[in-house]
Amino acid sequence: MEIPEFTCLCPRTGQPDFATLTLDYVPDRVCVELKSLKLYIWSYRNQGAFHEAVTNRILDDLAKAARPRYMRLTAKFYVRGGIFTTVVAETRKSGWQPLPEMDLSAVPSQPSTR
């Protein structure tokens, strides 16, 4: 899932921070419902948070709610003070291993238009 409109506030200056969040996960018994995710993400708009802390908090909250086999949250924050910040946090169930990667280069691609 890609969430291109994440915003929170810098806890020092109160200025807005903008990021694109990418959520990759392998569900177990529960899936993340998109409208609930959207409302949860919007709840950060007026909260002050450091980039690393907010990324870890969102991952912790989502993992607690969905209890996935695997979940990774990548937060790409736009420039602040001349620096782009990317934070990656992940969690996995004990013993979970991904399946081997598949080589898709031999699969013919379909045009994206009709």
H helices present in the chain, as ranges: 34-42, 51-66
The pLDDT confidence band at residue 80, using thresholds 50, 70 and 90, is confident
Is 28 one of the annotated active-site residues of the chain?
no
Selecting among 17, 24, 61, 103, the annotated active-site residue is 17
Selecting among 10, 28, 60, 103, the annotated active-site residue is 10
Structural domains in the chain?
Answer: 2-92 (3.30.1130.10)
Between 19 and 96, the more confident residue is 19
Residue 89 near residue 56, CB atoms below 8 Å: yes
Please state the separation of Cα 48 from the chain's center in Å. Answer: 18
Percent of the chain past pLDDT 90, that is, above it, reads 75
Is 31 one of the annotated active-site residues of the chain?
no
The per-residue b/e assignment along 77-109, b for 16 or more CB within 10 angstroms, e otherwise, is beeeeeeebebebebbeeeeeeeeeeeeeeeee
Mean pLDDT of 86-96: 93
Q: Does the pLDDT of residue 68 top 70, yes or no? A: yes
Tens of pLDDT, residue by residue over 3-59, are 999 999 999 999 999 999 999 999 999 999 999 999 999 999 999 999 999 999 999
pTM here is 0.83
Percent of the chain past pLDDT 70, that is, above it, reads 97
